[in-house]
């Protein structure tokens, strides 16, 4: 197995594959996202139940005829998964100075702890909604500061740096060193295939990466070390773990993996709120949601891609992190997928780093964002909102924010002539 893995990785490093690889499907109706493979009757039923639960509006504990769909809150951000991940797609960003949209969530962290430590009073996520009789934790507003610059050929660009304003805090000020972690709800396409990449492959890629310092997101689960891969910082090791976290932190729903809401010891009234059964989200519903995400396809890439796009992507150094090929295990019909990520964490510099409440940037490592499925955004005609907080309004802006380990690739991009820059960006948009 080891040798086979090495051989597969070697092949993947030298070839920039056709974008439309395994796992893709036409999303003819975006409200009916297809699975990437033919499902048998039982699997199809689980997929469809999962899709229905994904779209279910959860209601307050004790609501009559709730059909096991009660227990929302008392604090939450949205009442459905779909409210943030519209039919599996990434959320929309803020278009300007305005209240943070529902899919742009503010997580709270500690500047010293590695990951998964929240604010002592407000917990892991600032919950901006609450059921009747409870106060939301806070109000969040986005502001943007524009910054201009020029390419080597003189063409102008502008970027917008976010400033997050938090007020109406229900329990007094946040700790000054609490880390403010804005996160846009990511696309869920192909999650089951990312889950099928063996830890050993991720370790091997980190070992071979030259000139950049990709790190495996080791997370301890039941005493075992596993490679995290979901979320902008690869905090979660599985679809189930991320789903339970979303239920707990963003919807106020307990499930077997995480039976409690995101209420801290300082939030007595939140802890005492009535619950909608134990667990609130049943094991059957959780399993169906996992099935839906596990088989969810990646939308097809554009059929008319610039011919030299893939070559430009490799020559500019993008493919060093956004790897065109990764091996998968136990997937019928495929040994390789083309997600354009290495599932490793990289430091992209202070400009993208999370900041404490007082504005101090804290070294942050981000999972190389998978680029497959971006064509779905282009086809939707919606505004682009790229990077972990949706600040980038185009692929070009996203690249210009790349610094730290990706500084050399960004500089090569900046030196391309306008036509190549445009072809490379357009190719990425069509992935
Ligand atoms: C209030 C908005 C919100 C709701 C509701 C929500 N999510 Fe998310 N979701 C997010 C954000 C924000 C992220 C990125 C988290 C991070 O980076 O830590 C995310 C990430 C994910 C990911 C990781 C995808 C990847 O490849 O990284 C999965 C899977 C996921 N959510 C599933 C769900 C499911 C299932 C539900 C419903 C039970 C749900 N989410 C409800 C905001 C939301
Ligand atoms: C050193 C590794 C590295 C290199 C090299 C690199 N990237 Fe990235 N890229 C990342 C990481 C990590 C992120 C996520 C950063 C974040 O969200 O803050 C990212 C995010 C992106 C995004 C946003 C995706 C999304 O879902 O929001 C785009 C687009 C992108 N990169 C394109 C490129 C292109 C084009 C190049 C080559 C010019 C490139 N990248 C080079 C690591 C890299």
What is the share, in percent, of the chain residues with pLDDT greater than 70?
A: 95
Give residue 12's pLDDT.
47
Identify whether the C-beta of residue 391 lies closer than 8 Å to the C-beta of residue 162.
Answer: yes
pLDDT band at 67 (very low <50, low <70, confident <90, very high): confident
Burial class (CB in 10 A: 0-12, 13-18, 19+), 79: buried
- CA pair distance 242, 235, nearest whole angstrom: 8
* Protein residue with its CA nearest to atom 3 in ligand 1: 84
- pLDDT given for residue 17 in this prediction: 47
Contacts of 92 (CB under 8 A, 6+ apart): 86, 101, 103, 382, 383, 385, 390
Cβ–ligand 1 distance for 337 under 6 Å, the answer no
Residue 174 in contact with residue 166, Cβ under 8 Å? yes
Check pocket membership of 232 for ligand 1, CB cut-off 6 A: yes
**DSSP class of residue 102?**
T
Residue 16: the pLDDT is: 44
The secondary structure of the chain in percent helix, strand, coil, rounded to multiples of 5, reads: 30, 20, 55
Distance between Cα 246 and ligand 1 center (Å): 6
Size (the chain), residues: 431
Classified as helix, coil or strand, 185 is: coil
Residue 346 host element (H or E)? strand 345-347
Phi, psi (5° rounding) for residue 201? -70, -40
Residue 13 confidence (pLDDT) = 45
* Nearest residue by C-alpha to atom 33 in ligand 1: 243
Q: What is the mean pLDDT of residues 239-263?
A: 96
pLDDT digits (tens, 9 = 90+) for 334-382: 999 999 999 999 999 999 999 998 889 999 999 999 999 999 999 999 9
Interval 278-287 mean pLDDT: 95
Q: What is the mean pLDDT of residues 83-94?
A: 97
More confident residue, 271 or 387: 387
Q: What percent of the chain has pLDDT over 90?
A: 86
Per residue in 141-169, pLDDT (tens digit) is 999 999 999 999 999 999 999 999 999 99
* Cβ pair 77, 127 in contact under 8 A: yes
Is the C-beta atom of 108 inside 6 A of ligand 1? no
**pLDDT single digits (tens) 116-143:** 889 999 999 999 999 999 999 999 999 9
The pLDDT, as a whole number, for residue 403 is: 98
pLDDT of residue 194: 98
Ligand nearest to the CA of residue 197, numbered in listed order: 1
**Whether pLDDT at 409 is above 60:** yes
pLDDT surpasses 60 at 5: no
For residue 428, give the DSSP letter. H
Please tell me the distance between residue 147's alpha carbon and the centre of ligand 1 in angstroms: 30
- CA–centroid distance, residue 276 to ligand 2 (Å): 41
pLDDT at 399: 98
Of 3-7, 37-41, 245-249, 284-288, give the lowest mean pLDDT range. Answer: 3-7
Residue 21 in this model has a pLDDT that exceeds 90: no
Partners of 345 in the β-ladder: 215, 367
Average pLDDT, the chain: 93
Q: What is the pLDDT, as a whole number, of residue 3?
A: 45
**Does any ligand 2 atom lie closer than 6 A to the CB of residue 232?**
yes
- Atom number, ligand 2, closest to the C-alpha of residue 412: 38
185 Cβ below 6 A of ligand 1: yes
Strands 298-299 and 24-25: parallel
Question: Measured between alpha carbons, how far is 257 from 245 in angstroms, rounded to an integer?
Answer: 9
Give the confidence band of 1 by pLDDT, cuts at 50, 70, 90: very low
Question: What whole-number distance in Å separates Cα of residue 103 and Cα of residue 11?
Answer: 38
Identify the DSSP state of 89. P
Given a contact cutoff of 8 angstroms between Cβ atoms, the answer to whether 291 and 191 are in contact is no
Q: pLDDT band for 177, please (50, 70, 90 cuts).
A: confident
pLDDT reading at 238 higher than 60: yes
For residue 106 and ligand 1, the question of a CB distance below 6 A is answered with no
Predicted local confidence at residue 8, as pLDDT: 55
| pLDDT for the residue numbered 283 | 96
- For residue 156, report the distance from its CA to the centre of ligand 1, in Å: 35
């Amino acid at each position: 197995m080891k040798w086979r893995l090495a051989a597969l990785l070697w092949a993947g490093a030298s070839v920039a594959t056709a974008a439309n690889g395994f796992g893709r499907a036409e999303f003819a109706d975006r409200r009916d996202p297809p699975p990437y493979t033919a499902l048998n009757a039982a699997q199809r039923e689980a997929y469809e139940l999962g899709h229905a639960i994904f779209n279910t509006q959860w209601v307050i504990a004790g609501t009559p005829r709730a059909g096991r769909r009660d227990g929302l809150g008392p604090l939450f951000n949205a009442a459905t998964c779909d409210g943030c991940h519209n039919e599996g797609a990434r959320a929309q960003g803020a278009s300007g100075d305005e209240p943070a949209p529902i899919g742009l969530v503010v997580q709270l962290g500690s500047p010293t702890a590695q990951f998964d430590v929240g604010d002592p009073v407000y917990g892991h996520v600032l919950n901006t909604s609450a059921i009747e009789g409870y106060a939301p934790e806070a109000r969040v507003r986005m502001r943007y500061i524009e910054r201009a610059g020029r390419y080597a050929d003189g063409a102008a660009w502008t970027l917008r740096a976010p400033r997050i304003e938090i007020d109406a805090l229900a329990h007094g000020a946040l700790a000054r060193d609490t880390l403010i972690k804005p996160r846009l709800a990511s696309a869920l396409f192909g999650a089951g295939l990312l889950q099928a990449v063996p830890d050993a492959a991720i370790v091997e890629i980190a070992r071979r990466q030259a000139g950049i310092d990709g790190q495996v997101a080791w997370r301890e689960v039941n005493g075992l070390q596993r490679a995290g891969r979901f979320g902008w910082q690869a905090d979660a090791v599985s679809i189930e773990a991320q789903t339970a976290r979303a239920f707990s932190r963003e919807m106020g729903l307990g499930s077997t993996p995480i039976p409690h809401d995101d209420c801290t010891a300082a939030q007595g009234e939140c802890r005492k709120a009535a619950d909608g059964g134990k667990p609130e989200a049943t094991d059957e519903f959780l399993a169906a949601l996992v099935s839906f995400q596990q088989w969810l396809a990646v939308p097809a890439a554009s059929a008319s891609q610039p011919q030299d796009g893939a070559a430009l992507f490799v020559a500019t150094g993008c493919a060093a992190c956004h790897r065109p090929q990764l091996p998968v295990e136990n997937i019928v019909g495929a040994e390789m997928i083309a997600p354009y990520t290495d599932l490793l964490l990289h430091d992209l510099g202070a400009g993208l780093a999370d900041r404490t409440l007082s504005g101090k940037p804290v070294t942050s490592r981000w999972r190389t964002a998978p680029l497959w499925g971006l064509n779905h955004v282009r086809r939707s005609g919606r505004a682009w909102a790229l990077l972990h907080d949706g600040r980038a309004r185009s692929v070009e802006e996203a690249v210009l924010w790349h610094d730290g380990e990706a500084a050399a690739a960004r500089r090569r991009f900046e030196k391309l002539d306008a036509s190549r820059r445009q072809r490379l960006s357009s190719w990425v948009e069509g992935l």
